[in-house]
Amino acid sequence: MTALSAPRDRYNLVWIIFFILGLGTLLPWNFFMTATMYFTSRLRDPPPNATANGTAAVGDVRNVLESKFNNVMTLCAMVPLLLFTCLNSFIYQRISQKLRISGSLTVILVVFLLTAVLVKVQMEPLPFFTLTMIKIICINSFGAVLQGSLFGLAGMLPASYTTPIMSGQGLAGAFAAFSMICALASGSALQDSAFGYFITACVVILLAILSYLTLPKMEFFQYYMESGASRPPTDEENKMDLLKKETPAEKRPVVSLTDVDVKPAVSVFGIFKQIWLMALSVCLIFTITIGIFPAVTVEVKSSVADGGAWDKDYFIPVSCFLLFNLMDWAGRSLTAACMWPGKDSMWLPALVCLRVVFVLLFMLCNVQPRRYLPVLFEHDAWYIVFMILFSFSNGYLASLCMCFGPKKVAQHEAETAGAIMAFFLSLGLALGAALSFAFRAMI
């Protein structure tokens, strides 16, 4: 079977399934991250039947837990994400793909059902804080296995099938932020809004499970899974190679169509030497992003300090979470139509390095409280402009790196390359989480 006889993705169903799976990959973390108002309110407000003496006794604990919630939440999310992404690089050949993906989604679904139930259960601040962090560790541990497996799976398909994963991940944040804003706008109590919010997440994750179970039935997907290492490049990949300067043909691995059942040896270090620039680029992208979002950006106060609805309720949900995730989604989705700069262009790592300037720009916004740095960009408009550029560049450049990484190696090495790229993405998230403490302390 040749590339010319490869089946078509009828109605783009495989593309849509990968989009839904991408949505399910980051949806859990984004739902927890955008629900910080609910979590901090549980830490701040005393239980209904608490006595005055009891409230005073835990007051200091509440203040500490509330002030450190965002930083600790980010750290508890990103460190397990890194560790389990690394672990996935070793277990992906020992544990079946179906078990890794469907099992991870099932565990995440159970955690969200538990979170929805606990909305109705009154708890003291320290147990609630501890249990919340355990749930965050759990969903990001299994989310790491899910993400690494999914990018490895997409690496075996044409390059364009990494885009729906990245786009779905971008939409996950926008969907979570929009859901929270709708919950706030409903006028219902925060506790009731949070219950509906987490139930919505359960429905979406269940949809992702059902979508994955239908994937093996798709003829297009079956073709690429069965042909594996022996398939020739698709027409789309050939066109990309003609448009960009590639490795000389005599240096490329030669794959014989007669070696259908042969599984060439895969060297992780050898693959890394071919994709190290893409891997380090995606690592730096997310180090900068997570270093200041949300630990720094969520602390910015509106210049319209009148105690109204915008200042009190909507400024951070709209201009921080919703705007970031919408523009991040737009950046990720743009790679479906435009993939500039090319995978061998030095413009790509140069643009990645330029994003470091956003650290200083957000620090000089109206972050409160602050002790050291002055406020140079107090007006909301500055913050919104910075957020648009920051989030769009994050989505676009990260999607380019994740698309190009597996395509810089031979086809039989693509799944491993995808797993390596996912590891460095997670490494960037973990480094950013650690740096978030330093960035916030510098202000």
Please write the tens of the pLDDT for every residue from 240-270: 444 444 444 444 444 443 444 455 666 778 8
pLDDT of residue 88: 72
d(CA 78, CA 80): 6
Contact (Cβ atoms closer than 8 angstroms) between residue 402 and residue 425: yes
pLDDT(13) > 70: yes
Q: What is the mean pLDDT of residues 384-411?
A: 91
What are the boundaries of each domain within the chain? 3-246+261-442
3-state secondary structure of 377: strand
Computed from CA positions of residues 91, 97, 99, 101, in that sequence, does the dihedral angle turn out positive or negative? positive
Contact (Cβ atoms closer than 8 angstroms) between residue 296 and residue 435: no
Tell me the range of 85-94, 101-110, 188-197, 426-435 where mean pLDDT is highest. 101-110
Q: What is the mean pLDDT of residues 15-22?
A: 91
Q: Is 52 exposed, middle or buried (0-12, 13-18, 19+ CB in 10 A)?
A: exposed
3-state secondary structure of 365: strand
Lowest mean pLDDT among 49-53, 176-180, 354-358, 372-376: 49-53
Could you tell me the pLDDT band of residue 53, with boundaries at 50, 70 and 90? low
Nearest to 28 by CA among 120, 98, 107: 107
Amino acid at 16: I
3-state secondary structure of 91: helix
Q: What is the mean pLDDT of residues 169-197?
A: 78
Contact (Cβ atoms closer than 8 angstroms) between residue 435 and residue 101: no
Q: Which residues pair with 377 in a beta bridge?
A: 365
Q: Is 397 exposed, middle or buried (0-12, 13-18, 19+ CB in 10 A)?
A: buried
Domain 3-246+261-442 of CATH type 1.20.1250.20: yes
Contacts of 408 (CB under 8 A, 6+ apart): 274, 275, 278, 343, 417
Tokens representing 158 are: 């044409």
Q: What is the mean pLDDT of residues 225-252?
A: 49
Could you tell me the pLDDT band of residue 92, with boundaries at 50, 70 and 90? low
Q: What is the mean pLDDT of residues 309-338?
A: 86
Taking residue 384's Cβ as centre, other Cβ atoms within 10 Å add up to: 13
pLDDT of residue 48: 55
Taking residue 277's Cβ as centre, other Cβ atoms within 10 Å add up to: 18
**Residue bearing the bigger pLDDT, 52 or 300:** 300
d(CA 148, CA 420): 8
Q: Is 162 exposed, middle or buried (0-12, 13-18, 19+ CB in 10 A)?
A: buried
